[in-house]
């Protein structure tokens, strides 16, 4: 089947080749090429997971910081009003 995708050639040792064959069979994939692509996709997806979790944590910290800034501004305004009453 023709494709416009780039070609990748690899020469794994026998043990890795056998593991890839087993992976192919376990997933019911028709070709070793599809097994290799799926394995690479899974690998890179797992690498991206910590980044996504980190991004979520950063967004959470940003929201919390915005809330703290708003609260600080409210408190500052109250202090100014109290000082004016004195």
Give Cβ neighbours of residue 20 (< 8 Å, ≥ 6 apart): 12, 32, 35, 36, 39
Q: How confident is the model at residue 2 (pLDDT cuts 50, 70, 90)?
A: confident
The percentage of the chain sitting over the pLDDT mark of 70, rounded to a whole number, equals 99
**What is the pTM (predicted TM-score) of this model?**
0.55
* pLDDT tens-digit readout, 36-66: 999 999 999 888 777 777 888 888 999 999 9
Nearest of 51, 27, 48 to residue 37 by alpha carbon? 27
The structure tokens listed for 57 are: 């944590």
């Amino acid at each position: 089947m023709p494709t416009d995708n780039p070609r990748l050639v690899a020469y794994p040792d026998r043990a890795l080749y056998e593991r890839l064959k087993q992976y192919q069979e376990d997933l019911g994939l028709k070709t070793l090429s599809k097994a290799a692509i799926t394995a690479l996709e899974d690998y890179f997806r797992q690498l991206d997971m910590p980044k996504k979790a980190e991004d979520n944590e950063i967004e959470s910290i940003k929201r919390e910081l915005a809330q703290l800034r708003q609260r600080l501004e409210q408190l500052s305004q109250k202090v100014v009003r109290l000082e004016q009453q004195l």
